[in-house]
Structure 1
Amino acid sequence: MLQLTKPCRQKTPLLRIGFWLTEAFDLYALANALEPLRQANQMAGRSICEWQILSLEGQNLNASNGIATATSRLDQAQPLDVLILCCGENLRARADHQSLLQQLCRWAVQPIGLGAMGNAGWLLAQIGALDGYRCSLPEPDPLAQPGRFNDLTPVAAPFCVDRQRLTCVGPQAVQGLMHELLAQTHGRGLVLRMKQHAARQARPLLPMHNAHPKLQAALALMNDHLTNMLGIDELAESMGISRRHLERLFKRNLGCSPSRHYLDLRLQQARQLLQAGKHPMSDVASQCGFISLQHFFRCYRHYFGAHPRDERAPSPHPRFLTA
C-alpha cells in the first residue's frame, strides 16, 4: 500500500500528484492518468485530487503527436504526495538522458511516492529505485546489459503499486494504476462508484421497435409520470403482469431494475431542466419527483458525478489543474 508521509496525512486530505513530462511524451498515457482524477473529484463532490504538469525546465513540451503542453519547473513544484514520470520512446538516445537520471536519483530518496508510465519504468530500474519492490514493466530495452536488473521483482500484471513505487506496462494500463492509487488513498468504494457510473453512462439505448411491448408500455408510463411517480407495483398492474415479470423484462433488456431506470429518467430530465436555466433548483427537484432537495442532490451527484449547481455555473480556475 502507498504510504503517504505523516505530515501529508495531517495537513490535507488531498492526493497531490505531479506528472513529470519529457519531450515527445505519450499524451494518451497522460490523458488516461488525468481522467480518473477528474472523475474522482466529481464523484466526491469536492477536490480530493490535485495535479501539476511538470518538466525539468518548465517549458512548453510537444507530445509524441505534436500537441504542445505547458509545464511548470520541477524544482518549483508545490508539495507532492506522488511524482509520476511520463516519457516518450528511445529514452537512451535522448540528449538529456543523464540529467534525467540524476534528477530521478534525487527524487527517489524523497519521502513521496515515485512512479513511471510504460518504458519510463526502466529508468527507475536503471537507478535502482525499483530494487526490492514489486513492479510492472513492459518488454525490456534490447540494448540493456544482461543481468543488470537481477534485483527486480516483476509481476505478471498490467500495473503495480508497492509501497512508494508505482509502475505500469503502458498507456492502457495507466487508468488501472490510477484507480489503484485512488483506492489505496481514498477507499475502494469511491473507485467502485466511479466504475458503476461509467458503466451506466456507456449503456446504449434500446431500439424501441425491438423492445417487448410490455416494456415499451412501462417506459412510456414512466416518461409520462416523472413528477407524480408511479410505484413499481402500479406499473406492473397497469401492464397486467406481475412485478417479478416486469423486473425480469427490465433486467434482460436494460440491465437494471425498473426503479433504477425510473430514477435514471428523472435525473436525465432534471439535467435538461437545469441546463435550460429557466427553473429554480427546488422546482426542478419537485418536477422530477424528488421529495427533498437533499435527496435530489445526493442522487444527482451519485449519477452524474457532479452537484446540480455545476450545470449552471462555470467551474472555478484554481492554482492547480483540478476538476
Structure 2
Amino acid sequence: MAISVFDVFKIGVGPSSSRQGEQLTESERPQPPMLRIGFWLREAFDMYTLANALEPLRLANQLAGYDVCQWQMLSLEGQQLNASNGIATATTRLDQAQTFDVLILCGGDNLQLDPDLRQQLSHWAAQPISLGALGEAGWLLAQVGALEGVRCSLPEPGAALEFAAFSKLTPVAAPFCVDRQRLTCVGPQAVQGLMHELLARFHGRGLILRMEKHAARQARPLLPVRDVPKQLQATLTLMNEHLSPMLGIDELAETMGISRRHLERLFKRSLGCTPSRHYLDLRLQQARQMLRAAELSLSDVATECGFVSLQHFFRCYRQYFGAHPREHMGAKANSQRGSTLNAPVSSRAGRILAPSLPH
C-alpha cells in the first residue's frame, strides 16, 4: 500500500515510532521530503515562463529555511541552449540527470516532433514520475498520447495543429490542471499557480500561505519614513489593526485628536489618496488573503471585510484586482463547485502526494 508523505509524519520513521511520549532529538526527527523537479528545456524556450516557474520554488526554500525543493536544467544532448530572448542556459543531459519526482517540458513555438523527441517523450510518459509541460509545450505531450485519459489545461492550438486529431483529450477551462501524473497550464501567467499547487500537495498549504503573505508585503509601496506626521503613522497602525470591524473615518480622526478635514489632508499629502481609499485597499487585500485560505464563503468574506453587500464587494474587488473574487478562491472552495484539481500526483519513489490543496 502506498504511503503519502504526510502519513510518514503521522506514523513515524524507524525506531522513533516506538518511542511514544518521548521528546525526539533534532537528529531523530523525520526529515521533510524534498520535491525534486527536472526542467526539460528545448531550443528557444520561453525564459519568462521558466522564470515564473522557478521563482515560487526559490521563495519556498527561502521562507522554509531549508531546501524543500531542488531543480535542474535538462536537455536531450546536455548542451547550452538559447532562450527565445537570446539568454544562454547550461543544461545537463537528460539521461545523466539526478533522480527527480517531476519532469516538466519547457519549449518554444516549435511543436514539430522529430523521431528522437517522440521516442524520448513516449519513454518518460511511461515512467512512474509526474510529467508536465508549460504552455504550448503541452501540445507535444498531446501528440505522443501522454495526455489521453486525463484532464489537461492547454492554450488554443495554433494553425499548424489539427485540433480534431486530438479527440481523446479532455481539456478543462482552467489556467492550470493537475490530474494524476500530468501537469499542464495555459501559459506564463498560469505557471505560478501550477507551482503553488505542486508545492502545496507535497509540503502542505501552510507554506503557500507564507509565500502569499510575503508576496503581499513585497507588493506594498514603501511609506515615506521622513517628515511623516506621527498622527498619520498612528492612524495607519489603527487601520491595520481594525480591518474587521473597521473604524469610521470620523472615529479615526477623533482618536488622533484632529479634525476629519485635517486627517484627509495628511493622507493626501503623504499617500496621495483619501483615508477611505487607503482603508478600502487594506480591506480588499485582506479579502484576497481570506479567499485564498478558502475557509469562508464569498458572502462571509464580504461581511468580514466590511462590505455592505455582495454586489459592492464584487465591484470594488474587480476594480482593484481586475478579477472576480471567485477567480482567487482557494481550491478547497473551488472543489465544492466541481474543481478539476482533485487527483493525487505520484512520484518516482512510489509516494502518493497529498490530495489537492488550495493554490
**TM category, shorter:** 0.5 to 0.7
Q: Note if contact 1:43-1:194 (Cα within 8 Å) is conserved in structure 2.
A: yes
Match of 1:252 among 245, 263, 279: 279
Unaligned runs of at least 5 residues, structure 2: 14-30, 238-252, 259-274, 284-359
Partner of 1:59: 79
Q: Please tell me whether residue 198 in structure 1 is matched to residue 225 in structure 2.
A: no
After superposition, give the CA deviation of every residue in 1:190-223 in whole Å (9 maximum; x if it has no partner): 1111011111111013458998872246689xxx
Partner of 2:103: 83
Count of paired positions: 230
Partner of 1:163: 180
Partner of 2:142: 125
TM-superposed deviation, 1:237: 11
Q: Aligned-pair RMSD on alpha carbons?
A: 3.5
Q: Please tell me whether residue 215 in structure 1 is matched to residue 232 in structure 2.
A: yes
CA distance in 1 between partners of 2:165 and 2:280 (Å): 56
CA distance in 1 between partners of 2:190 and 2:236 (Å): 39
| Shift in alpha-carbon separation, 1:174–1:254, aligned structure 2, 3 A | closer
After superposition, give the CA deviation of every residue in 1:51-102 in whole Å (9 maximum; x if it has no partner): 010000001000011110000000011111000000011222xxx7331121
| Shift in alpha-carbon separation, 1:148–1:238, aligned structure 2, 3 A | closer
Partner of 2:56: 36
Q: Note if contact 1:135-1:155 (Cα within 8 Å) is conserved in structure 2.
A: yes
Partner of 1:292: none
Partner of 1:140: 157
After superposition, give the CA deviation of every residue in 1:167-208 in whole Å (9 maximum; x if it has no partner): 011111111110111111111121111011111111013458
TM-superposed deviation, 1:43: 1.1
Q: What are the residue-to-residue correspondences of 1:260-271 with 2, within 5 Å?
A: none
Q: Please tell me whether residue 18 in structure 1 is matched to residue 62 in structure 2.
A: no
The SS at the match of 1:114 is strand
Bigger shift: residues 189-198 or 211-220? 211-220
Partner of 1:185: 202
The SS at the match of 1:255 is helix
| Shift in alpha-carbon separation, 1:97–1:212, aligned structure 2, 3 A | farther
Q: Note if contact 2:35-2:68 (Cα within 8 Å) is conserved in structure 1.
A: yes
CA distance in 1 between partners of 2:59 and 2:282 (Å): 23
TM-superposed deviation, 1:255: 3.2
CA distance in 1 between partners of 2:83 and 2:206 (Å): 34
Unaligned runs of at least 5 residues, structure 1: 221-235, 242-248, 257-323
CA distance in 1 between partners of 2:199 and 2:236 (Å): 37
Q: Note if contact 1:206-1:253 (Cα within 8 Å) is conserved in structure 2.
A: no
TM-score, scaled to structure 2: 0.57
| Shift in alpha-carbon separation, 1:5–1:110, aligned structure 2, 3 A | farther
TM-score, scaled to structure 1: 0.63
- What amino acid maps onto 1:190 in structure 2? L
| Shift in alpha-carbon separation, 1:89–1:12, aligned structure 2, 3 A | same
